[in-house]
Structure 1
């Protein structure tokens, strides 16, 4: 399969602002879940949420994540199925943590779940200048994983 086939089969659509292709698979009063596909020419731009978000790897290449913690921590987990190589099939992102993701190959199909559920008002896109000043050791990654028009969120 290629990315276009996955997009068609799952009914994925472009996700404005953040990037990637997505479709909501579940929403009730307690939780939400989505499919999310990344390709080499796109990425999940740095953003943060008010609740915990669990990222799950489903198919395709591994995903490199950048996590910028509220206390100044920087981590770079890899979401995937090569357990012996250090990849993990689930990565939990704590509330208030800036997160970004990019595929390591031709395409990656992941999913995210949230409980309590995702609410648009709890989503914030990262500002390249502000984040680079707060996390100087990750400035090159921040420049690559933000969009120039994200300042107005």
Structure 2
């Protein structure tokens, strides 16, 4: 069975897990402060995680803002220099926004049946600026120090 939000928002499978659709890509261009390439000034997507799905640990080279729209709260994990922390967005006791700073690894999971969020990146998102964890030592660190998070690798 397909979740009704997939059809409503015309979502497609995302390589990191879940479903997405880009809903805004600025026509204004800017230069990336990371590598100097041209990027849209800003991009925004809808992102849906269903129960049992995860957004695998990945990083984006630019700042990303997550906003919770509906559904269960979302667990959002970040890793920076072998420091891992969790924030929850959505629901009565949590904020509705979290910022992932440029270059931090991030992963997410819904805490219920589904979570619909929005993700905004500036300079705008490009798959050339996206990567999964490749370093064997980092994968091993997660397996040893945070075995409950191995499903995010």
Q: TM-score, normalised by structure 1?
A: 0.83
| Cross-structure match for 2:20 | 22
Do the aligned partners of residues 95 and 139 (structure 1) sit closer, same or farther apart at CA in structure 2, a change above 3 Å counting?
A: farther
Query: For each residue in 1:59-100, what CA deviation from the matched residue of structure 2 results, as whole angstroms up to 9, or x when unmatched?
Result: 00011111101x322111011132xx3x21000001111100
| Cross-structure match for 2:86 | 76
**Structure 1 residue 10 corresponds to structure 2 residue 9:** yes
The structure richer in strand per residue is: 2
| Cross-structure match for 2:31 | none
Please give the secondary structure, in 2, of the residue aligned with 1:140: helix
Paired positions, count: 139
| Cross-structure match for 1:117 | 124
| Cross-structure match for 2:151 | 144
Greater Cα offset, 105-114 or 71-80: 71-80
Distance in 1 (CA, whole Å) between partners of 2:56 and 2:137 is: 14
Deviation at 1:38, TM superposition (A): 0.3
CA RMSD of superposed structures (Å): 1.9
**Which of structure 1's runs of 4+ aligned residues deviate more than 4 A?**
none
Distance in 2 (CA, whole Å) between partners of 1:96 and 1:109 is: 23
Structure 2 unpaired stretches of 5+:
27-39
The structure richer in helix per residue is: 1
Please give the secondary structure, in 1, of the residue aligned with 2:112: coil
Distance in 2 (CA, whole Å) between partners of 1:90 and 1:3 is: 27
